[in-house]
């Protein structure tokens, strides 16, 4: 179990590094992360990648960063995320949250069939609170993602540039030592 968790953590770090080190501006990458985070917290599972691609094209944000961020919502996180957005949306709309109805709607068995039935049949009771809560939570989480991600990306790039300069300086010094050693060696 620990090895699997460690492997997953290593894969996430590599993916994050790949996103951060893209040849795109920190602003574009950060905006992509913020857009993807917002979309991830709305009840659009199954359409999130398409929405992220369209939105990033319109906003000129980094598409890969947004698509990676929408995977915050996945089969493992779907119930806590949608549960909290439903609860908040129901509170804002002054609805009485119906746990049984919500659990039936999120029953993963036959999810796609239920998703379309839910959109059509449970709209007001489930979808409206999910959307209201999702937009509120999405904004609360996504708005700070942009400045935080931008600063982290800029900081990462500064550190990487400093490391590259140090490496070049060491290589230059080693080369100069080699060259000066060759000049001092008497030829026979």
pTM over 0.85: no
Give the up-direction half-sphere exposure of residue 156: CA atoms within 13 A in the CB hemisphere: 17
* Contact predicate 51/44, CB 8 Å: yes
Whole-number Å distance between alpha carbons of 21 and 157: 8
Query: How do the pLDDT tens digits run along the chain, 188 residues long?
Result: 688 777 877 887 888 888 888 889 999 999 999 999 999 999 988 899 999 999 999 999 999 999 999 999 888 888 889 888 988 998 899 887 766 766 666 665 555 555 555 555 556 677 888 899 999 999 999 999 999 999 999 999 999 999 999 999 999 988 888 888 776 656 65
Tokens 């985070």 belong to 37
What residues contact 82, with CB distance under 8 A and at least 6 apart?
43, 73, 106, 130, 134
What the block records as the tokens of 71 is: 């995977």
Between the CA of residue 37 and those of 142, 161, 165, 183, what are the distances in Å?
6, 28, 34, 60
């Amino acid at each position: 179990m620990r090895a699997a968790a460690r492997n997953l953590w290593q894969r996430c770090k590599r993916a994050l590094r790949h996103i951060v080190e893209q040849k795109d501006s920190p602003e574009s990458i950060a905006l992509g992360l913020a857009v993807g985070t917002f979309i991830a917290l709305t009840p659009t599972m199954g359409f999130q990648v398409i929405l992220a691609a369209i939105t990033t094209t319109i906003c000129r944000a980094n598409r890969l960063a947004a698509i990676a961020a929408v995977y915050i919502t996945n089969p493992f996180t779907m119930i806590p995320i949608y549960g909290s957005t439903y609860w908040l949306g129901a509170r804002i709309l002054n609805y009485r949250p119906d746990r049984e109805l919500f659990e039936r709607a999120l029953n993963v068995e036959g999810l796609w069939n239920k998703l379309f039935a839910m959109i059509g049949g449970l709209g007001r009771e489930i979808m409206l609170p999910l959307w209201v809560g999702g937009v509120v939570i999405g904004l609360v989480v996504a708005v700070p993602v942009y400045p935080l991600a931008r600063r982290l990306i800029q900081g990462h790039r500064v550190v990487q540039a400093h490391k590259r300069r140090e490496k070049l300086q060491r290589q230059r010094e080693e080369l100069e030592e080699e060259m000066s050693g060759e000049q001092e060696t008497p030829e026979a």
